């Protein structure tokens, strides 16, 4: 399955959730412990930006049994992600020492999640649950101590909270909102590129929503700051969870009020206007100058694709 087949227009990665989050079970420690012991329970095991997978011939499997995960050195403290067809699914972490012991194994591999998603190696319908596991494991690894008093905190409610035993502060996972937008002026759209992008790749501009800021204001501010373009008519399209480490990409469109670009070189390497015809070629990787648009697993591809196909 190609990436274009895996992520048809309007369906980027990480948006199809196959789990019942079953939040009512999070406070039932006995029930969760019993679910961990059941042979039907499964886990996604995360190591930094990578995923532990089991090789099965020419394919790989990311959803492991609890026993398989523990034998590979996964941390026994599990995060309850939810239920799939009645079976519990957990998220588990992997230490560096455990990851190093798996190097060279033929039956298992630790593979970068983004690459597997882009190549269509993993079933698209599993990516949302994997993103949940990655975000939650990363949060626990980075928030082990109370931000209020510095005491070591304890995992609670199936991993969806950490409690401080000293000052009694409660800490919850955070999701950072990011606006990503397709700005158009007639039959032209604005795209930019960062230095770390592959050669010739351009994408939609994006930026974090700041404190006490609306989505609309964030779109207008980020576009103005990065490109000098003023815009209006901000419209919402769709969102995409983005587990790097835990963001929510808020896809929007906007109409430009001017076309004189002033690039913020601290943020972008380049920004320019592209015609609808050029954008169509970039999305299919057939541009004569080797230019390319964003990958279909990213919401930016779908923002651009919708505009390309919208002739109104």
What is the predicted pLDDT for the residue at 5?
80
Q: What CA dihedral angle connects 24, 30, 31 and 32, to 10 degrees?
A: 80
* Percentage of the chain exceeding pLDDT 90: 95
pLDDT band at 310 (very low <50, low <70, confident <90, very high): confident
Q: 36-42, long-range: CB within 8 Å, 24+ apart, which pairs? A: 36/66, 36/78, 36/88, 36/90, 37/66, 38/87, 38/88, 39/65, 40/86, 40/87, 40/88, 41/65, 41/66, 41/87, 41/88, 41/89, 41/90, 42/66, 42/84, 42/87, 42/88, 42/89, 42/90
Average pLDDT score over residue span 231-259: 97
Give 77's pLDDT tier (boundaries 50, 70, 90).
confident
Q: Is the pTM of this model over 0.85?
A: yes
Contact assessment for residue 126 and residue 18, using Cβ atoms and an 8 Å cutoff: yes
| Matching residue, tokens 């593979």 | 111
Q: What is the pLDDT of residues 192-214, one digit of tens each?
A: 999 999 999 999 999 999 999 99
Query: What distance lies between CA 187 and its chain's CA centroid?
Result: 30
Quickly tell me which residue has 């079976």 as its tokens.
87
> In this predicted structure, what is the pLDDT of residue 34?
95
CA 12 to chain centre: 10
pLDDT confidence of residue 197: 97
pLDDT value at position 240? 98
Q: Give me the chain's average pLDDT, please.
A: 96
Please, are residues 189 and 293 in contact by the beta-carbon 8 Å criterion?
Answer: no
Average pLDDT over residues 278-302: 97
The beta strand positions in 216-275, using DSSP E, are 231-242, 247-256, 270-275
């Amino acid at each position: 399955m190609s990436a274009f087949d895996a992520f048809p227009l309007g369906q980027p990665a990480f948006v199809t959730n196959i789990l019942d989050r079953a939040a009512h079970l999070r406070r039932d420690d006995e029930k969760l412990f019993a679910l961990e012991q059941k042979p039907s329970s499964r886990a996604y095991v995360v190591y930094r930006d990578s995923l532990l997978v089991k090789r099965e011939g020419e394919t790989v499997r990311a959803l492991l049994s609890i026993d398989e995960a523990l034998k590979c050195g996964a941390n026994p403290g599990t995060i309850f992600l939810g239920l799939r067809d009645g079976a519990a699914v957990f998220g588990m972490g992997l230490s560096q020492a455990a990851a190093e012991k798996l190097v060279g194994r033929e039956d298992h591999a630790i593979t970068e999640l983004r690459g597997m998603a882009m190549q269509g190696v993993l079933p698209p319908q599993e990516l949302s649950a994997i993103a949940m596991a990655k975000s939650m494991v990363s949060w626990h690894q980075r928030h082990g101590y109370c931000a209020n008093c510095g005491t070591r905190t304890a995992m609670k409610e199936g991993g969806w909270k950490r409690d401080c035993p000293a000052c009694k502060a409660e800490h919850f996972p955070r999701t950072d909102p990011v606006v990503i937008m397709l700005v158009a002026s007639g039959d032209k759209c604005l795209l930019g590129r960062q230095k770390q992008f592959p050669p010739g790749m351009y994408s939609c501009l994006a930026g974090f929503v700041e404190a006490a800021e609306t989505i609309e204001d964030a779109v207008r501010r980020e576009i103005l700051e990065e490109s000098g373009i003023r815009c209006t008519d901000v419209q919402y399209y769709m969102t995409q969870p983005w587990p790097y480490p835990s963001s929510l990409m808020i896809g929007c469109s906007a109409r430009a009020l001017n076309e004189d670009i002033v690039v913020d070189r601290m943020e972008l390497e380049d920004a320019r206007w592209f015609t609808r015809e050029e954008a169509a070629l970039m999305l299919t990787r057939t541009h004569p100058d080797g230019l390319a648009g964003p990958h279909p697993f990213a919401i930016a591809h779908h923002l651009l694709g919708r505009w390309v196909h919208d002739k109104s």
